[in-house]
Structure 1
Amino acid sequence: MDAASVPEPTGLEVRQLHALESTYPGWAITHTITPAGKHQWKAVLYRELTDLLHQAGVRAEVLEEDAIALATTLAHQTLLLASMRGGRAVPRRAGETP
């Protein structure tokens, strides 16, 4: 498949992108289709990823194959960000991983 034949995003994909952007304003969200036809949904955190955020499990960049997977990952990332209070992470339960 050459670059000229890369499909355009569907109306649904455009609506999904707008929904993600409005739901997760702290992230720069993009949707691309590779020349091979593979969908890539990417979110990049606008704020600086500090060591403390990283240790809490927050990722600076998230890449998923569909909008639903990205929404799920961003919901979890938002929960991790919200768990930060007063510059420190809320302790995790035993056996919980980021």
Structure 2
Amino acid sequence: MTTGQHIASRDRAARQLSVLSATYPGWEIQHNGDAPAEEAWKAVLLHPLTPMLAKVGVEQTITRPDAPSLASALQCQVALIHNERATHEITKFPGRR
């Protein structure tokens, strides 16, 4: 890889990191270009992982080889969290089971 390609790759990763961080504020997003390829991108949930969230498949830490696959995994995690919270909130209302 030439110096120019390396700089372009680093700039692209920085932009992807910025977009992921803005899109998923409940997660700490990290990029480590020196890590093994399968662990280059990492997201850590900023809120405590409750037993109920873990039961439905929410993970505290997610690692992926690239930004698009991390974004996909995070979207799935956000859906799981949203669905669990919505289900839990519905059961709190009087007259609902």
Give the TM-score, by structure 2 length: 0.75
Equivalent in the alignment of 2:31:
31
Mean CA deviation greater in 74-83 or 9-18: 9-18
- Larger helix proportion of the pair: 2
| 5+ long unaligned stretches in structure 1 | 1-6, 91-98
Report sequence identity in percent. Answer: 35
Q: CA RMSD in A?
A: 2.5
C-alpha distance 12-78 of structure 1, shift in aligned 2 (>3 A):
same
| 5+ long unaligned stretches in structure 2 | 1-5, 91-97
Divergent runs of 4+, >2 A: 85-90
Number of residue pairs matched by the alignment: 83
Larger radius of gyration: 2
CA distance in structure 2 between the aligned counterparts of 1:34 and 1:89, rounded to whole angstroms:
42
- Larger strand proportion of the pair: 1
